[in-house]
Each structure stands twice: as C-alpha cells, then as structure tokens.
C-alpha cells in the first residue's frame, strides 16, 4: 500500500499535496473544485503546495500526495510528470487522460507529421500561405504519440472517469490522507 510519509507535512500538521494538469482539459481539477463546502475542511487539512489552484509552479518541498490529470503529449509534460514523481510520496493518475491517454490520444493512430500538416497546412479552415509549422523554441515539442502517465513514471493509484466525480476525488483524497488504500465501488464507479 502506498501512503503519504510524515516528512511531507507542513508546520501545523497540514499535509502538502500537489496537483497538475498535463495534456487534458482541466476537467479533473474542476471536479475537485466541485467538492464545494467540503473544500473548506480539505484546506484545513492540506497545503496545496505546487498546483494551478494556488498558481505555484515549482516544488520547494516534498509533497505527500501528487494528483496528475492529463497524459503526456509533449516533452514538457514528461519533464513535469518526472518532477512530480521525484517530489511526491504517492502519485495518482486522475481521469481517463492520465490513466489511458483519453481524448488527446485519439491522434495516436495518425503519424505526427500528418497531424501537424492537418492542423497547420492542409486543414479545411487553415489559412497558412507560407505552409510553415510553428517552430518557436519556447513551444514544447510534441511527442510521437500521447502516453498515459504510467508509461512514463511509476503511478501508485489510478482514478477513472472523464472526469471523475467530486465524490470520487473526495473519497480517494480522504483515504490517502488517512493512510488507507482508496476503494471505489458501487455508485462511485457508475458513469451514466
């Protein structure tokens, strides 16, 4: 069983957690926010250390728990995911993009060159008289395909859904904060 270590606690006993959105839609973070008033008790128990929810983009301390939504479509996604694995005791793939590649992985059956040509040169609504592909060095490089997180780093837990419901995320986070393995059964795994 993977569980957060005590070393990743903030002064005052709050557990440090981190969240990130890679190649996805931010829907899993929205589901986390859908916990509404339960977030008050969560914020009393945790410090969101590195997260778009607090606009902190780098680790300055170890975190007990890392929640990752989205798969890896760029070299930057891989770098961020490896950084999360290095700095988080427990790492959780949240949502279908993180666990399976999701909608972004629909491009996996098409060679990257064809995807780029359709998007930037040959698309029905594309206007690009030069035919030039974006090549700014600040842009992350696209990978040959979209990879689910577990194909890049070791993942401790997987949370299905597109996106998983607020109740599912609440159940998983509470279990991990209490040192238990999350159990998702019955209505928590029903998507209709």
Residue 3 is predicted with a pLDDT of 47
**CB under 8 Å to 152, separation ≥6 — which residues?**
72, 78, 81, 82
Residue 13 is predicted with a pLDDT of 84
C-alpha–C-alpha distance, residues 144 and 74, integer Å: 9
15-21 β-sheet, strand order: 46-48, 15-21, 63-69, 88-94, 157-159
Residue 180 is predicted with a pLDDT of 95
Mean pLDDT by 10 residues, the chain (192 residues): 51 88 96 94 93 92 97 98 98 98 96 94 93 92 97 97 95 96 85 66
Residue 97 is predicted with a pLDDT of 97
Residue 4 is predicted with a pLDDT of 52
Lookup result for tokens 């975190």: 63
């Amino acid at each position: 069983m993977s569980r957060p270590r005590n070393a990743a606690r903030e002064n005052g006993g709050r557990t440090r957690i981190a969240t990130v959105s890679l190649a996805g839609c931010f829907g899993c973070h929205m589901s986390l926010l859908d916990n509404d008033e339960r977030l008050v008790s969560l914020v009393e128990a945790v410090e969101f250390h590195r997260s778009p929810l607090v606009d902190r983009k780098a680790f300055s301390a170890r975190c007990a728990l890392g929640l990752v939504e989205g798969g890896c479509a760029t070299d930057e996604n891989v770098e961020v995911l490896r950084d999360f694995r290095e700095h988080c005791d427990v790492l959780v793939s949240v949502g279908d993009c993180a666990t399976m590649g999701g909608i972004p992985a629909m491009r996996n059956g098409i060679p990257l060159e064809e995807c780029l040509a359709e998007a930037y040169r040959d698309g029905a609504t594309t206007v690009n008289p030069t035919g030039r592909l974006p090549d700014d060095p600040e842009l992350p490089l696209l990978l040959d395909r979209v990879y689910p997180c577990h194909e890049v780093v070791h993942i401790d837990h997987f949370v299905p859904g597109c996106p998983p419901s607020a109740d599912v995320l609440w159940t998983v986070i509470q279990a991990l904060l209490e040192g238990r393995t999350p159990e998702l059964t019955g209505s928590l795994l029903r998507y209709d």
